[in-house]
Structure 1
Amino acid sequence: MTPFSPQSMDVKAALEIVKQILAPQQLSYVEELVFIRTWQDQRYRDMAVDTGYEEGYLKDIGSRLWQALSQHLGYPVSKKRLRFILAEVARQPEDRNPLGMPAATVVGEKSIEFPGSPLPFQSSWYVERPPLEEMAHRALQQSGSLLRIKGAWGMGKTSLIHRLLGQAQREGMPVALIDMRQADASAFESFDAFARWFCWAISQKFNFNLNVDDYWFASAGSKLSCTTFIQDQVLSRLAMPVVVAIDTLHHLAEYPTIASNFFAMLRSWYEQARSSPEWGQLRLVMAYAAELDLPLQTHQSPFNVGLPLELPLLTRTQAEDLAQRHHLANQGVSEDDINRLLIRVGGHPYLLQIAFYWLQSGHFTSQQLIDQAATDDGIYREYLHRLWAIFQQSPDLEKAWQQVIASDQPVVLPASVAHRLEAMGIVQLESGRVRVRCHLCRDYFSALYADL
């Protein structure tokens, strides 16, 4: 490669280096957008204004991108250090990065990408949690069914959705996956704007080239217009069972008026399916991180009907199965090592996958990995820093978390706060009380607060 200085490297050259580092993983449109604008010294706040994406969503995308680069290069990559680090990478010979490490770990003939993205359908790294998958699959065979998937961040909600939609497609059903984070800020200005965006998103997923405004009846109201659009322009056109999955529904908690109207409309669709064969063709999947504290009447809520599935932590047997797929025994990792890791991370799928990735690479011994896990030198530093950043934006949430980790017994917290901690994946709710779910997080933050 031609030597670059941090100031002279242009954005195209920098982006190409990032793609080489992360190959075979490909950057999404939003990841490229965040990288390019970061290179242009834009703040996330300014990116949000210019692009219409939520600032928090862009920060999350950026954090994951810097984390992926950090793990591939072997040392911390941050927004501020990006130019300097890529200039250093550009000075290295083309056949190696600064550590001589491959961009992906290889097991047998399978290349393992760094964990962080949902698993595709039929991924060999997906671990089933019986009987959830079979129950969900059976539910989607039923007329007018509604499936509710609840799980904290990193628990595998979207991976399960990919699996279900892949099975549905294989059985001949049209499918659509709508992620609430994909909506621009303008879509959340009113329920009418959101309903139009939702109809447009679904029509695009099914490759219908429709102008939603042509089918909108302002005098009838947004809910009726949206309902009529789905019935006449989606269900009637397809005329067969169809699966619509709505991911990251908890994002709507930031917009209670929109959420209340939207959820009431989803409940009405479910009720219509009881008597209308046309609406019976619709199978709905809802995925969210925690209970949403919204003023919904019982008869207007979709959260008390359908099949509820809460994703559990992986059991010891399931974790050992995943370890075997990574051939960790070849790296000298024992069952006792896996057990000690489970004590730390509690069977959290994402945290286990990160550990198994690094153990299989041979970059860490199991002893090193476990000893450093709850420190800023360990493999979980980006994950722990992400939690810290959330607490810095929510002092009330941090105060509640400090109360939880300071107690050996489950504590009582306001429901809204408890559910937010639950969505982060660091606590578990038991009979209205909250207890620590992840000892990794307790150890890290206990030490952090002790030093402050």
Structure 2
Amino acid sequence: MTIDEVVLLLKASQINGLTTLQEIILRSSWEGKTYTSIAFEAHYGEERVRKVAAHLWQLLSDFWREPIHKSNFREMLLPHRLSKTHQQLIKEFNRAATAISLEFPNSPVSLNSRLYIPRPPVEELVYAEIATPGSFICIQAPKKMGKSSLILRVISRANNHGFRTVCLDFQQAETAVFSSLDKFLRWFCANVSRELQLEPKLNDYWDEDMGSKVSCSMYFQNYLLCAVKSPVVLVLNELDWVFEYPEIAGEFLPLMRSWYEQSQILEVWQKLRLVLVYSQEILAPLKLTKSPFNLGLLIKLPSFTKEQVEDLAQRHGLDWADSQNTDSLMAMVGGHPYLVRLALYHLVSRGGLEGNLQELLQQAATTEGIYHEYLRQYVLVLQGEPELATAFSEVITAINDVKLAPITAYKLHSMGLVNLSGDRCSPACELYRLYFRGQLNPVKNFTIPNELGSLHCTDRAV
């Protein structure tokens, strides 16, 4: 039995479920942490933690009818298997909870949602890294793979540690901000100041003779990082928008690298923990000595495994453990988190009848299917990139894997459209092969639906 199953079973069996502190104690004790450590990390008094824990061990002992305490908790429950009664209890709990709080998957998975699926060891690696002075994290994955959901949890964990957190989303910046490096860095500093609830004092530190980059660094070093006593986790979200302006990216990214290098020398820079979040990696050439992407911890979010898809289905109230449904869905969409969640949402919202899955999959690659709105956004992007459209058309119509020009293959892979094996490309999932065959073949007749208008790929709809 896993700790997730233990927690879920207790939530399902107890009238009042579990409190947040009870769940923290369970999970931390499973990891072998002491009460002192649990109290410190959860920001509770140790006496309260011990009191809640004592009640919890009694509850567990009564439930399993054998003595359970902190020292034997994991040893006692790990060999257990969920009985059919327990499985049914969890299934009914999931179905009831889902009916109350079903979320349409068009935004990050909220912190209190039951539908967030961890992808070990990703979360623990990131949590450990942000606790490290001067840390540097890069999180890269195509759109809709769960980056924003992970960032919500990173920020929450940082706040629980007493850190200050700032999350800048570059897609919120007006086009005029990118007109010059100086304007961009001033916008950057001003927004970080306000997020830290500090008065912007740019003119006190900006020096035309020193240049924008040095001024920006001095502003952080001598003002922002000195004004706050606790570490600062700075999340730079949607960094792709900066990539669209090569001159600015070519100066800003090496600046981020220099801050990390400064943390190895100056203590004040160890307060800063940088998190860079982006979908498509920058293709403009950067020397290895200037690129920030070969530093610190690099996280590339993986697709869901079969076990994780079954877990998510169970959390939607569907019992797929002994059926072919998981295999059928993954044969169409792989383990893509958004595509899987959208299918489960529609199955449950239509009554949770598992027989609907075959109908859903039969329509999946058509304009009547549930994925059409999502897929046509890719059509938009490819319509503005004829060379990419031609190359992708070659991939989805070929019997075997296709060798493409490295940059083309890299772009399609960063977009999430293809899998790469060495220098060979294949469609990322069967859904893409079937849908885009009708949209991109033949390429010379490739058009987009009238309702999309004439938007260009730089509108970044994907």
Q: Which moved more, 1:287-296 or 1:342-351?
A: 287-296
Match of 1:414 among 402, 405, 417: 405
Determine the C-alpha separation between the residues in 2 that align with 1:176 and 1:392. 36
- The 8 Å contact of residues 151 and 288 in structure 1, kept in 2 or not, is answered as yes
Q: Mapping of 1:189-228 within 5 angstroms?
A: 189-228=179-218
Partner of 2:458: none
- The 8 Å contact of residues 126 and 154 in structure 2, kept in 1 or not, is answered as yes
Q: How far apart are residue 449 of structure 1 and its match?
A: 4.1
Q: 2:402 is paired with a residue of what secondary structure?
A: coil
Partner of 2:255: 265
- The 8 Å contact of residues 246 and 286 in structure 1, kept in 2 or not, is answered as yes
Q: 2:293 is paired with a residue of what secondary structure?
A: helix
Q: 1:175 is paired with a residue of what secondary structure?
A: strand
Aligned length, in residue pairs: 346
Q: Give the aligned residue type for 1:184.
A: E
Q: How far apart are residue 333 of structure 1 and its match?
A: 10
TM-score (norm 1): 0.73
Match of 1:178 among 168, 184, 209: 168
- The 8 Å contact of residues 122 and 163 in structure 1, kept in 2 or not, is answered as no
Determine the C-alpha separation between the residues in 1 that align with 2:440 and 2:99. 45
Determine the C-alpha separation between the residues in 1 that align with 2:416 and 2:96. 29
Partner of 1:25: none
Q: Mapping of 1:51-130 within 5 angstroms?
A: 107-108=97-98, 110-130=100-120
Q: Give the aligned residue type for 1:280.
A: Q
1:379 equivalenced with 2:379 (yes/no):
no
Q: Give the aligned residue type for 2:196.
A: F
1:345 equivalenced with 2:336 (yes/no):
no
Match of 1:252 among 242, 247, 256: 242
TM-score (norm 2): 0.71
Q: Give the aligned residue type for 1:358.
A: H
1:315 equivalenced with 2:305 (yes/no):
yes
1:361 equivalenced with 2:349 (yes/no):
yes
1:151 equivalenced with 2:141 (yes/no):
yes
Q: Give the aligned residue type for 1:155.
A: M
Determine the C-alpha separation between the residues in 1 that align with 2:374 and 2:96. 24
Partner of 1:71: none
Q: Deviations over 1:74-120 (max 9, x none)?
A: xxxxxxxxxxxxxxxxxxxxxxxxxxxxxxx9844642231111123
Q: How far apart are residue 430 of structure 1 and its match?
A: 2.5
Partner of 2:394: 403
Computing the radius of gyration from Cα coordinates, the structure with the larger value is 2
Q: Mapping of 1:222-241 within 5 angstroms?
A: 222-241=212-231
Q: Give the aligned residue type for 1:199.
A: C
Determine the C-alpha separation between the residues in 2 that align with 1:214 and 1:412. 55
CA-based RMSD of the aligned residues comes to 2.0
Determine the C-alpha separation between the residues in 2 that align with 1:415 and 1:196. 36
Determine the C-alpha separation between the residues in 2 that align with 1:231 and 1:216. 13
- The 8 Å contact of residues 250 and 289 in structure 1, kept in 2 or not, is answered as yes
Partner of 1:274: 264
- The 8 Å contact of residues 115 and 354 in structure 1, kept in 2 or not, is answered as yes
- The 8 Å contact of residues 138 and 299 in structure 2, kept in 1 or not, is answered as yes
Match of 2:423 among 423, 429, 432: 432
Q: Give the aligned residue type for 1:174.
A: R
Q: How far apart are residue 204 of structure 1 and its match?
A: 1.7
Q: Give the aligned residue type for 2:418.
A: V
Please, which runs of 5 or more residues in structure 1 have no aligned partner? Answer: 1-104
Structure 1 residues 227 and 137, CA gap change in structure 2 (3 angstroms): same
Q: How far apart are residue 400 of structure 1 and its match?
A: 1.2
- The 8 Å contact of residues 98 and 315 in structure 2, kept in 1 or not, is answered as no
Q: Deviations over 1:145-173 (max 9, x none)?
A: 10111111111111111111101101100
Determine the C-alpha separation between the residues in 2 that align with 1:176 and 1:323. 34
Q: How far apart are residue 191 of structure 1 and its match?
A: 1.1
Determine the C-alpha separation between the residues in 1 that align with 2:206 and 2:182. 10
Q: Give the aligned residue type for 1:154.
A: K
